[in-house]
Structure 1
């Protein structure tokens, strides 16, 4: 059996019990080296297969290979493995190979959910996830999605918002959003959520300090009704009070 396990944002307290149980029972753990460090206290006596940055295909291939030999294998991924994680890649590979394999996806707490809980309740109405990384998706496609989401006044969760190699993607996305949203629109972000240097901050589009945003940050742009009260970012559900 191949288990594809979402670890959540980093802290064991935010892992699901199913994820903990699967990691404990599987003799083989496959994952990115950084993710291995998040669960290092659970890996004693296990066979470890890890790769570095951008080794996703190699990890998935190895996990499939090992699980095909009638072994229980846990392929771990931060957040939720089905949201920008390894679940989709494994299934694409199996479909491409026309290979049958028993696969079970174990859900995890994704970054937007973890950050939202710390910020208040910003996701109480319709929202979407958009990754600003153009490694897999052309930038022209990403900008069309940002435009459509902003035009429809979704709360927008921006994953992979800014890196040294992509310093301007967040700025370009915010400029598109400003075509439809006010500069005073509430923005919250979580950086290194559930990790030792965790930071949450609530600001506005116009006052957002882009230099404080990196690849371990989730940026949540509110809709026109999102407000701040007592340090909490809130998007109304629509109840009549």
Structure 2
């Protein structure tokens, strides 16, 4: 473990990224625990009044993100400064993405179906940064051998091909596969070669005069969503809390803090 940490985190200069990811995840978890306790009226936060002036935690999140980002630029690469700025940045991003859905919809949709986008964005961000920390980016390791340096050329070509396939997957309406395809070798090929989703730019452009392919696209999308959407929503509810029912939403404005 110590050798892996030295070789893949400390030596390439990824320790600030690890600190940022850790503080980001912890901030999101702590924030969701607090908001769910307030919502349920339990624990030390049960008596918090949500009336009056309410400042969403995206506001301090933005301030911390700005402070951490500019601080990292100004502090250089050595000393305690980069670590501190990484923690500030991670905390800020955790607060911002926890309310990502509110920024996207410009409304307090924290405990609604639209609010699931915040949880999804947090999970995607944590997963992508985690992949980078695990060494899926073929750059940044010092004191490498000649064989390792020669291998980087093929790695760069692989990344370029992955990016090309990621663009194809994105045009076919498969954004998640496209995101991970930029980092994980050849994962975007799956999305690029399979049938596009209905309504995607690819489907609108190339399936217009192909009724069989269009029907196949709709059928695959139906079976995919039926299989995975329920599981995805259960996972989101477990991580971030289940959204309110419409009847509760109509009588609730901002009851989480």
TM-score range, shorter chain: under 0.3
TM-score by length of 2: 0.26
TM-score by length of 1: 0.27
Which protein shows a greater Rg?
2
Considering fraction of residues, name the structure with more helix. 2
Considering fraction of residues, name the structure with more strand. 1
